[in-house]
């Protein structure tokens, strides 16, 4: 279990936290609409998008990350240089874990070695990706997203193939407040994926196009409240 909490800057030096705002968004793939006037908002630093395959979870993550553009949106959370970790394996098989962490936005290794999740990936840093399991490669991608200073992290089914102990360590880290100044939005099919997580959950019922969704507050993975007002800007 993770007990250490990352050092935090003085209050006056902290950036304003990023929070989820989606207001009257329309999006379609060609003639196939996915969102029609969809709105969602949350003050929570961690938001889970949950629902069956094909319900719009990944599409919403890509809209938030700027990889897709809506046909219409009154408001949509956008930050410079977000992190998007998709389901498909994004690692080059001939590179090591360390090599991948050195790609893109620079990793400060003094910070990385002090990170609460560093022991989870340390045995993988010298290993080439083609020798890693899918779950091990997933750990490298997630650690890279966590340790770089992205203001928003969009994680598509992040716990797929992650072993139970590592999943618990990641959830402990998220709950510790290490990302509280940032926004973490992740997608999931399963209740077990949010076991232990403090978060808001936006639940899609699988109907397209999406115009409404239910929102619930969770504490330690247990539903504590239904939240009204999802269809408007809160």
Question: 129 with 96: CB under 8 angstroms?
Answer: yes
Q: Please, which residues have CB within 8 angstroms of residue 7's CB and are 6 or more apart in sequence?
A: none
> What is the phi-psi region of residue 161: left when phi exceeds 0, alpha when psi lies from -120 to 50, beta otherwise?
left
pLDDT band at 87 (very low <50, low <70, confident <90, very high): confident
pLDDT band at 16 (very low <50, low <70, confident <90, very high): confident
Helix, strand, or coil (residue 131): helix
pLDDT band at 14 (very low <50, low <70, confident <90, very high): low
Average pLDDT of span 103-113: 83
Q: Is the pLDDT of residue 208 over 70?
A: yes
pLDDT at 232: 41
Average pLDDT of span 31-48: 95
Q: DSSP label at 230? A: T
pLDDT band at 13 (very low <50, low <70, confident <90, very high): low
Helix, strand, or coil (residue 232): coil
Average pLDDT of span 155-166: 93
Q: What is the spatial distance between Cα 176 and Cα 163, in angstroms, rounded to a whole number?
A: 20
pLDDT digits (tens, 9 = 90+) for 122-143: 999 999 999 999 999 999 999 9
């Amino acid at each position: 279990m993770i007990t250490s909490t990352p050092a935090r800057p003085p209050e006056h030096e902290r950036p304003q936290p990023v929070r989820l705002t989606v207001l009257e968004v329309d999006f379609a793939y060609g003639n196939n609409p996915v969102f029609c006037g969809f709105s969602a908002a949350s003050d929570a630093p961690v938001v889970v998008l949950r629902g069956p395959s094909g319900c719009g979870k990944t599409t919403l993550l890509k809209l938030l990350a700027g990889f897709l553009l809506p046909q219409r949106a009154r408001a949509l959370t956008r930050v410079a240089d977000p992190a998007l970790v998709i389901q498909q394996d994004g690692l080059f098989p001939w590179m090591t874990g360390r090599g991948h962490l050195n790609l893109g936005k620079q990793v400060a290794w003094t910070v990385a070695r002090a990170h609460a999740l560093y022991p989870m990936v340390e045995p993988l840093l010298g290993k080439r990706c083609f020798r890693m399991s899918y779950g091990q490669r997933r750990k490298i991608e997630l650690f890279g997203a966590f340790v770089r200073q992205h203001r928003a992290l969009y994680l598509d089914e992040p716990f797929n193939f992650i072993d139970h102990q590592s999943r618990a360590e990641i959830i402990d880290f998220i709950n510790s407040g290490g990302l509280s100044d940032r926004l973490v939005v992740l997608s999931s099919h399963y209740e077990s994926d949010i076991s232990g997580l403090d978060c808001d959950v936006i639940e899609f019922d699988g109907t397209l196009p999406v115009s409404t969704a239910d929102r619930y507050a969770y504490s330690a993975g247990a539903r504590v409240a239904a939240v009204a007002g999802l269809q408007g800007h809160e």
